[in-house]
Amino acid sequence: MIYLFYLLVYGFLLTAALGLFASWVDRKVTARVQYRIGPPLLQPLIDIVKLMGKETLIPRGASRNTFLLSPVAGLSSVILASALLWVVGLRPGDGFLGDWIVAIYLLTIPSISIIVGGFASGNPLASLGSSREMKLVLAYELPFVLAALVPVIRAGLILRLGDIVVAQQIAGATATSLSGIIALIVAILCVQAKLALVPFDIPEAETEIIHGPLVDYSGSSLALYRLMKNMLLFTLPFFLVILYLGGIRLTGIHILWSVLKYLVLVAIITVIRNTNPRVRIDQALRFFWGPVTILSVIAVVLAVLGL
């Protein structure tokens, strides 16, 4: 029963509300950076409600079931991942051995659902975007996993997120050490690519392949994809907070700290998105497999040495 409660209330409702709010923060900060006023607070929610009421078109030549089911798969994996992270964040003792691996693969499924949905729609632009997304996943997964290993090594090689949080509460956050800082930088870059935000928005490049994999989606399936992306905008920084910044605590002054940690991460992501041009897919691949992977390997070595 308690798991169902976590899944529905924390995993879905709270994450969706916070994700929509984060997406509003993102749009508002973008607008302010460009000297605009920006959308009202409820705008992301209104967008979702509107898309729910629109007609869902299925293109001729698309494989119908895959086309309609892939957004559902992506959204449900985000809900599962965020429920898991909430359990770990609020009650560190309640995780299970290996939930680090589960969280990482659940956070990969949204990208895979976008790839599958794009190929299923049968649109040439969508398949172009999907193949780019596939290359991007191959590019950022390796440094992301290496960077996520650093807190595990520092917590004494236990693949349990709860123990990572507890170890950080005893010995200070991962990001207070040299290896932790390097790993955090690598992880922020990978999160930027995972969210498909500007330097790495190659799969959905609006100006060249008009939203890539999502080009043929409309109505409620597009709403599910948007909700999924908004929830990822909450879940991924939350994962970084747990891994590197000592998790969250909802007691007294710690509430303020937790919110501040999360907001700083979102602000960094938004500022990176607003001050960079889009790179090409080969440049992104070279960037992630070259300097970023080297940095993450250095971070792992430093963590093993205990720095």
Nearer to other proteins, 227 or 295 (CB): 227
**Which of 14, 25, 56, 166: binder of other proteins (CB under 8 A)?**
56
Taking the complex as a whole, the smallest distance from the CB of residue 215 to other proteins amounts, in Å, to 5
Should residue 219 be labelled a site residue for other proteins when binding is judged by CB under 8 A?
Answer: yes
CB-CB contact of 193 with 182 (8 Å): no
**Which of 1, 53, 156, 170: binder of other proteins (CB under 8 A)?**
53
Taking the complex as a whole, the smallest distance from the CB of residue 125 to other proteins amounts, in Å, to 8
CB-CB contact of 170 with 154 (8 Å): no
Should residue 39 be labelled a site residue for other proteins when binding is judged by CB under 8 A?
Answer: yes
Binding to other proteins by CB under 8 A, coded x per residue (else -) over 190-209, reads ----------------xx--
- Using CB atoms within 10 Å of the CB of residue 160, give its burial: 0 to 12 exposed, 13 to 18 middle, 19+ buried: buried
Taking the complex as a whole, the smallest distance from the CB of residue 48 to other proteins amounts, in Å, to 9
Q: How many residues bind other proteins (CB under 8 A)?
A: 30
**Which of 1, 34, 253, 277: binder of other proteins (CB under 8 A)?**
34
Which residues within the stretch 264-293 sit at the binding site for other proteins (CB under 8 A)? Answer: none
CB-CB contact of 94 with 162 (8 Å): yes
How far is 152 from 95, CA to CA, in rounded Å? 14
**Which of 17, 25, 31, 166: binder of other proteins (CB under 8 A)?**
31
Should residue 61 be labelled a site residue for other proteins when binding is judged by CB under 8 A?
Answer: no
Nearer to other proteins, 221 or 235 (CB): 221
Taking the complex as a whole, the smallest distance from the CB of residue 284 to other proteins amounts, in Å, to 21
Should residue 4 be labelled a site residue for other proteins when binding is judged by CB under 8 A?
Answer: no
Should residue 124 be labelled a site residue for other proteins when binding is judged by CB under 8 A?
Answer: no
Should residue 214 be labelled a site residue for other proteins when binding is judged by CB under 8 A?
Answer: yes
Should residue 57 be labelled a site residue for other proteins when binding is judged by CB under 8 A?
Answer: yes
How far is 92 from 78, CA to CA, in rounded Å? 20
Q: How many helices (H) and strands (E) does the chain have?
A: 14, 0
CB-CB contact of 16 with 230 (8 Å): yes
**Which of 1, 37, 170, 256: binder of other proteins (CB under 8 A)?**
37
**Which of 10, 24, 67, 217: binder of other proteins (CB under 8 A)?**
217
Three-state SS at 37: coil
How far is 248 from 76, CA to CA, in rounded Å? 23
* CA atoms in the 13 A half-sphere facing the CB of 250: 7
Should residue 210 be labelled a site residue for other proteins when binding is judged by CB under 8 A?
Answer: yes
From the centroid of its chain, how far is CA 96?
Answer: 22
How far is 120 from 105, CA to CA, in rounded Å? 22
Return the DSSP state at 125. Answer: H
Tokens of 70: 């892939």
Tokens of 84: 């898991």
How far is 219 from 217, CA to CA, in rounded Å? 7
**Which of 17, 25, 27, 276: binder of other proteins (CB under 8 A)?**
27
**Which of 14, 17, 25, 43: binder of other proteins (CB under 8 A)?**
43
Nearer to other proteins, 38 or 158 (CB): 38
**Longest distance between any two alpha carbons in the chain, whole Å:** 58
Q: State the residues that interact with other proteins by CB under 8 A.
A: 27, 31, 34-40, 43, 46-47, 49-50, 53-57, 206-207, 210-211, 214-219, 222
